């Protein structure tokens, strides 16, 4: 069974239609890359899947793990294993990263009827997660993302992902702002978290990330629709020919898989 099935999804923001009929199906164990020009709606799709109330869904359906995803508030989506690594992680002055991570972890555990962990247990648990993204423990004592460098914010997103162990991770341009080493670390993190029962959607502009996180499918989002889908070689072709090649003349592909 597919993990998520998006059908004819339409969404608006400030009364402007951004998503104009998205079809996309992702099975467990797969990695899908979503590429496309600036402003084509990639982040909108990601935010809509995470449940951002700033976006209004005006049509279509999303079935996730057999459930009507669009009917769930964002916190329940997260508790059911959806995770969005934000293109622009949000700064929350006054809330420590450690407190935030533990609160999130405990909320998800609680939703699954599991015991909450105390700060000491959590500190042990964090040690290995920090190592995974090569982050210093001192980052935990700082306010969430406040004053973090661009790359530190992105690592912090992956750290949260490592803590929450999602079933469907959506990474929105997680590579932007990362140096080569960090890129490898983040990609390693994602690869290590990969399991047969989870899936990843990687929104990216750069083929270079896909050298590290190898996708099973590549989709090109243009003007609110998926204009073309293919295998990992599609990314190389795009790198070579640019998005014009997709928008001008090439047949519009149906959703993958």
Partner 1 sequence: MAGSAAEPFVEAFDELTSDASTPAWVQSMRRAAFERFGTLGFPTTKNEDWHFTSVSPIADHDYVFLAAKSGDVGRDELAPFTFGATGWYTMVFVNGRFAPELSDIAKLPNGVKVWDLASAWTKVPDVVDRVGKLATYDNQAFTALNTAFMLDGGVVQIAKDTEVDRPIHLVFVTDATAAKGMMHPRNLILVGKHAKATVIESFVSTTDAVYLTNAVTEVSVGEGATLQHYKMQRESARAFHVGTIEASQARDSHYISFSLATGAALSRTNVYTTLDGEGSGATLNGLYMANGEQHVDHQTQIIHAQPNCFSREMYKGVLDGRSHGVFNGKVYVHPMAQKTDGKQTNNNLLLSETAHVDTKPQLEIFADDVKCTHGATVGQIDQTALFYLKSRGIESALARRLLTYAFAAGVLETIEVNEVREALEKMTLERFV
Ligand X SMILES: Nc1ncnc2c1ncn2[C@@H]1O[C@H](COP(=O)(O)OP(=O)(O)OP(=O)(O)O)[C@@H](O)[C@H]1O
- Please give the residue ranges that form the binding site for ligand X (CB under 6 A): 13-14, 16, 18, 36, 38-44, 87
Q: Taking the complex as a whole, how short is the minimal distance between the CB of residue 41 and ligand X, in angstroms?
A: 4
Q: Taking the complex as a whole, how short is the minimal distance between the CB of residue 238 and ligand X, in angstroms?
A: 14
Which of 219, 215, 223 lies closest to 238 in space, CA to CA?
219
Q: Which helix (H) or strand (E) holds 201?
A: strand 199-203
Residues 53-92, interacting with Mg ion (CB under 5 A): 87
Binding range to partner 1, per CB under 8 A, among 17-25, 86-94, 191-199, 231-239 = 86-94
The Cα–Cα gap between 10 and 252 comes to 18
DSSP 245: H
Q: Which does 44 bind (CB under 5 to 8 A by kind): Mg ion, ligand X, partner 1, none?
A: ligand X
Q: What is the DSSP string of 90-152?
A: PPEEEEEHHHHHHHHHHHHHHHTTPPPPPHHHHHHHHHHHHHHTT--GGGGGSEETTT--HHH
Taking the CA atoms of the chain, what radius of gyration do you get in angstroms?
A: 18
The Cα–Cα gap between 62 and 232 comes to 25
Binding Mg ion (rule: CB under 5 A), the pick from 40, 43, 79, 198 is: 43
Q: Taking the complex as a whole, how short is the minimal distance between the CB of residue 161 and Mg ion, in angstroms?
A: 18
Q: Which residue is nearest to ligand X (CB)?
A: 43
Residue 56 within binding range of partner 1, rule CB under 8 A: no
Per CB under 8 A, residues contacting partner 1 are: 50-54, 73-75, 77-79, 83-84, 86, 89-90, 92-95, 99-100, 103-104, 107-108, 111, 143, 160, 164
């Amino acid at each position: 069974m597919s993990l998520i099935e998006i059908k004819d999804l339409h969404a608006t923001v400030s009364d402007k239609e951004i998503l104009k009929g998205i079809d996309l199906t992702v099975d467990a164990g797969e990695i899908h890359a979503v590429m496309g020009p600036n402003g084509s709606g990639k982040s909108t799709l990601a935010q809509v899947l995470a449940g951002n109330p700033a976006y209004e869904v005006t049509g279509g359906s999303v079935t996730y793990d057999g459930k009507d995803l669009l009917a769930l508030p964002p916190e329940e989506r997260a508790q059911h294993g959806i995770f969005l690594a934000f293109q622009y992680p949000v700064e929350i002055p006054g809330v420590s990263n450690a407190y935030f991570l533990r609160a999130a972890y405990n909320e998800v555990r609680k939703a699954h009827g599991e015991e909450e962990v105390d700060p000491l247990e959590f500190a042990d648990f964090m040690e290995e997660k920090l190592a995974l993204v090569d982050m210093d423990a001192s980052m935990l004592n700082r306010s969430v993302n406040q004053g973090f460098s661009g790359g530190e914010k992105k690592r912090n997103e992956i750290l949260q992902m490592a803590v929450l162990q999602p079933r469907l991770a959506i990474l929105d341009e997680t590579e932007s702002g990362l140096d080569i080493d960090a890129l490898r670390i983040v990609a390693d993190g994602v690869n290590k978290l990969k399991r047969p029962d989870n899936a990843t959607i990687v929104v990216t502009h750069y083929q270079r990330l896909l050298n590290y996180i190898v996708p099973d499918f590549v989709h090109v989002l243009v003007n609110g629709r998926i204009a073309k889908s293919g295998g990992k070689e599609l990314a190389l072709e795009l790198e070579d020919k640019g998005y014009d090649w997709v928008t001008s003349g090439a047949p519009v592909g149906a959703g993958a898989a």
